Amino acid sequence: MKEHSGSLDDGTKVDIWTVSNGGITLKVLSYGGIVQSLEVPDREGRTANVSLGFPSLADYVDRSPYFGALIGRYGNRIAGAAFTLDGASYALPTDGGPNSLHGGDQGFDKHVWAVEPFTSGTDTGLVLRRTSPDGEMGYPGTLEVEAVYTLTADGRWRIDYTATTDRPTVVNLTNHTYFNLAGAGTGPVQDHLVELAAARYTPVDATLIPTGELAPVAGTPYDFRQARAVGAQAVDHNFVLDSGITDEPAHAATVTEPTSGRVMAIATTEPGVQFYTGDHLDGRPHGPRDGFCLETQHFPDSPNQPSFPTTVLRPGETYRSATVHTFSTC
């Protein structure tokens, strides 16, 4: 179902799309590919929205901390807002301290996408497309991007990304949904139990850029190999998934909310996941730690760190990434 959500200052129309399947209802804005709400049942069959967001388009435009957004061209940070590719240097916007964050201040989350609904067998969902022109936010190459949000009959939300380019470039796409499995607006997530399939993480400097080390989580506050409560620990780190890059989504994380009984398992083809406990949310309307993010991704600053898995995409190649969220109850 499509409804008119509003218009941007330049008159561009923004729609909100609603799709349902397998007990899940997903509402998506054409602006930024934003997941405005994600309703899933608890152990008693009662549904609630488990994603943080705003009620109005204006809030997303004016002050959103990437609630539910489709992120690109490059999710996470690039050091010094610059990188070199094939001997050419590229300057990017500085929107994360001295660094470039989430594709720049006019990244994919700030553009209207073309949206088309689909049904395939027992699956239903939305196909989102846009063309990112050569030089947008400093990135080389015209990038043709597609993101497919699929709801399955057995309670899964799958995201498939593809992209092609006409010039060598770098690409790292992700989704920035903040989750609270007890329901949006119910308070902090410190009681959520989190398990990450990651024996290593990427330590960062004072500006949140990886040092290049892949450090063991053992003996650190970032050891989530066995499920444990989020607690008071602030986390905003990239975790190195044990599975590495895979052709099909492999297990990355499981989160359990004991009161509602909701469980969310995440599988991905990506080598990393950014676990963020939402400590910098400003309270309008959601405060610090009212939600968490698990952003499947390549590592931050990969264009400047040759030892990290490459994020370079060349003409004739196709960027592919897939992440599956499986909802259940315990």
CA–CA separation, 158 and 174 (whole Å): 12
Of 91, 307, 51, which is closest to residue 180 (Cα–Cα)?
Answer: 51
Cα→Cα distances 238→98, 202, 222, 242, Å: 19, 6, 10, 13
Q: And the tokens for 53? A: 């967001």
Find the length of the chain: 330
Name the 3-class secondary structure at 225: coil
CA–CA separation, 14 and 4 (whole Å): 6
Strands 156-165, 169-170: pairing kind: unpaired
326: β partners: 156, 265
Q: Which of 102, 111, 176, 286 is catalytic?
A: 176
CA 185 and chain centroid, separation? 20
The residue type of 326 is T
Residue 4 falls in the annotated catalytic set: no
Q: And the tokens for 212? A: 């290049």
Q: Which of 192, 295, 298, 325 is catalytic?
A: 295
Catalytic residue list: 176, 295
